[in-house]
């Protein structure tokens, strides 16, 4: 069966948080996202979400809206989706343009909506969206934002009680070492502890801090210095004595290729909302040296196939999230669980962070374990129509 995309509803929504989430680059008290509702002539409806971050790709709500209306929707409207052929190849030209232009956040929204609508038309279960086997449950990371010692003690104690085995602490201020010391004392010596500096240090500070952090059993340091100088990031990787996780430095295909060439980060943080949705995720996995699922392989070149680096070197993959995701993207992240052996898995915890979640079908994970999606076709989430309307501040229908 062939289906076409016939209608796109584009919404800007604002969702207040229950509490502020802080790191060295931002303090967030609400989510400002775009929600896409994609209709096909097969009667299926797919959903996508855009979370632009200026410090990642330079995108904003306004630029993402414009790109979707003028570039992405006209191209997607011309696609012919075959329920027997995965949409990966059909979406590659559009993803390649988005990656070159650093428009991967906007593209992620339309990409997720296409995959979701296609999977429903093709009756593909969410847990095996890409043809992979059902993955095993995976341990989730307990996220700890920057804050007071009282906040850290209270939240870390609760997470330990709930059963979390992995923790990530936001750092980048004068009390970093004291906070790490306190957290290690709370969680004990055997649980995984890593830190995320969100580009909060310079090269010399990062190297010095990483040597200090080793004494507390920290397993890795995420984005220790600002993005933009991969050679300096590689220096931190070599001299710091701990694995570096690339996050802000990794949004596009070019970013990935440079990181790989310089061996600047032993771990890559792939977040659907910043790298171009499922199509971007698959392409970056290829750049890193991981095979595509057989169902997504076909003749012809793929954006991620031109890897020309040492085949023996392959960065580990961290399955990440962005603050402010609804249950839509948290479900989409679960669809990736079987794609490769992830070193860490994160989760957005929308029921905790968001005062209101416009989608239902949150796959859970509040006791420290990520279960895969179920047998429902597509992403397995549906909107709460009245709440979605209530949160909407702008809407446009494209046909």
- Pick from 191, 229, 226, 197: which is nearest to 210 by CA? 197
Q: Give percent of the chain with pLDDT exceeding 90.
A: 82
The residue whose two tokens read 């800007």 is 12
Sign of the Cα torsion 170, 31, 329, 164 reads positive
Q: What is the mean pLDDT of the chain?
A: 93
Place 180 in a pLDDT band, splitting at 50, 70 and 90: very high
Using left for φ > 0, alpha for ψ between -120 and 50, and beta otherwise, residue 358 falls in alpha
Distances (CA, A) of 162 to 359, 366, 371: 25, 8, 16
> In the predicted model, is pLDDT for residue 119 greater than 90?
yes
Q: How far apart are CA 4 and CA 118, in angstroms?
A: 10
Residue 298, pLDDT score: 63
Averaged pLDDT for residues 285-314: 77
Lowest average pLDDT, out of 119-128, 288-297, 325-334, goes to: 288-297
Residue 218 to residues 163, 165, 390: CA-CA distances in angstroms?
Answer: 19, 14, 43
Phi, psi of 141 (to 5 degrees): -85, 135
pLDDT in tens, 304-324: 666 566 677 899 999 999 999
Q: Say how far residue 111 (Cα) sits from the centre of its chain.
A: 13
pLDDT tens, residue by residue, 121-170: 999 999 999 988 888 899 999 999 888 899 999 999 999 999 999 999 99
Number of Cβ within a 10 Å radius of residue 290: 17
Confidence (pLDDT) at 145: 85
Q: Which residue has the tokens 């989706």?
A: 81
**Cα separation, 216 vs 193, whole angstroms:** 9
Within 8 A by CB and 6+ apart from 344, the residues are 141, 166, 168, 192, 194, 267, 318, 319
Cα separation, 134 vs 99, in Å, equals 30
> Residue 367's pLDDT is what?
82
**Domains contained in the chain, CATH given:** 2-124+383-398 (3.30.390.10), 127-382 (3.20.20.120)
pLDDT over 90 at 285, yes or no = yes
Please check the confidence at residue 295 and state whether its pLDDT lies above 90. no
Q: Quick: pLDDT tens for 36-56.
A: 999 999 999 999 999 999 999
pTM over 0.85: yes
- Residue that wins the pLDDT comparison between 65 and 305: 65
- For residues 47-67, average pLDDT: 97
Backbone angles phi, psi at 222, to 5 degrees: -90, 130
CA contacts within 13 A on the Cβ side of 248: 22
Three-class HEC string of the chain: CEECEEEEEEEEEEEEEEEEEEECCEEEEEEEEEEEEEEECCCCEEEEEECCCHHHHCCCHHHHHHHHHHHHHHHHHCCCEECCCCCHHHHHHHHHHHHHCCCHHHHHHHHHHHHHHHHHHHCCEHHHCCCCCCCCCEECEEEECCCCHHHHHHHHHHHHHHCCCEEEEECCCCCHHHHHHHHHHHHCCCCEEEEECCCCCCHHHHHHHHHHHHCCCEEEEECCCCCCCHHHHHHHHHHHCCCEEECCCCCCHHHHHHHHHHCCCCEEEEEHHHHCHHHHHHHHHHHHCCCCCHHHCCCCCCCCCCCCCCCCCCCEEEEECCCCCCHHHHHHHHCCCCCCCCCEECCCCHHHHECCCCEECCCCCCCCEECCCCCCECCCCEECHHHHHHHEEEEEEEC
């Amino acid at each position: 069966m062939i289906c076409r995309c016939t209608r796109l509803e584009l919404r800007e929504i604002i969702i207040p948080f229950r509490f502020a989430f802080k790191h060295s680059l931002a303090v967030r008290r609400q989510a400002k996202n775009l929600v896409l509702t994609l209709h096909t002539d097969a009667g299926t409806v797919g959903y996508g979400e855009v979370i632009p971050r200026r410090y990642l790709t330079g995108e904003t709500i306004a630029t993402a809206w414009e790109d979707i209306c003028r570039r992405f929707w006209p191209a997607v409207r011309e696609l012919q989706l075959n329920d027997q052929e995965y949409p990966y190849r059909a979406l590659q030209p559009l993803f390649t343009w988005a990656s070159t232009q650093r428009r991967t956040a906007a593209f992620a929204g339309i990409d997720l909506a296409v995959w979701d609508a296609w999977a429903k038309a093709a009756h593909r279960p969410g847990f095996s969206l890409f043809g992979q086997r059902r993955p095993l449950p995976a341990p989730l990371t307990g996220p700890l934002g920057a804050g007071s010692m009282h906040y850290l003690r209270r939240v870390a104690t609760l997470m330990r009680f709930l059963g979390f085995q992995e923790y990530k602490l936001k750092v980048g201020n004068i009390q970093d070492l004291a906070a790490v010391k306190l957290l290690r004392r709370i969680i004990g010596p055997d649980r995984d502890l890593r830190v995320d500096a969100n580009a909060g240090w310079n090269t010399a500070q990062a190297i010095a801090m990483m040597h200090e952090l080793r004494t507390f059993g920290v397993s890795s340091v995420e984005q220790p210095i600002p993005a933009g100088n991969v050679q300096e990031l590689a220096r931190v990787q070599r001299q710091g004595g701990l694995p570096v996780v690339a996050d802000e430095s990794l949004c596009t295909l070019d970013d990935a290729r440079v990181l790989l060439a310089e061996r600047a980060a032993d771990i890559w943080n792939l977040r659907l909302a910043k790298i171009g949705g499922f199509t971007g995720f698959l392409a970056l996995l290829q750049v890193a040296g991981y095979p595509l699922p057989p169902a997504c392989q076909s003749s012809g070149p793929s954006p991620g196939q031109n890897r020309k680096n040492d085949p023996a070197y392959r960065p580990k993959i961290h399955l990440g999230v962005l603050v402010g995701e609804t249950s839509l993207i948290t479900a989409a992240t679960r669809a990736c669980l079987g794609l490769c052996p992830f070193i860490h898995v994160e989760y957005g915890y929308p029921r905790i962070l968001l005062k209101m979640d416009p989608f239902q079908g949150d796959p859970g994970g509040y006791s420290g374990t990520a279960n895969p999606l179920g047998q429902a076709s597509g992403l397995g989430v549906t909107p709460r129509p009245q709440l979605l309307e209530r949160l909407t501040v702008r809407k446009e229908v494209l046909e």
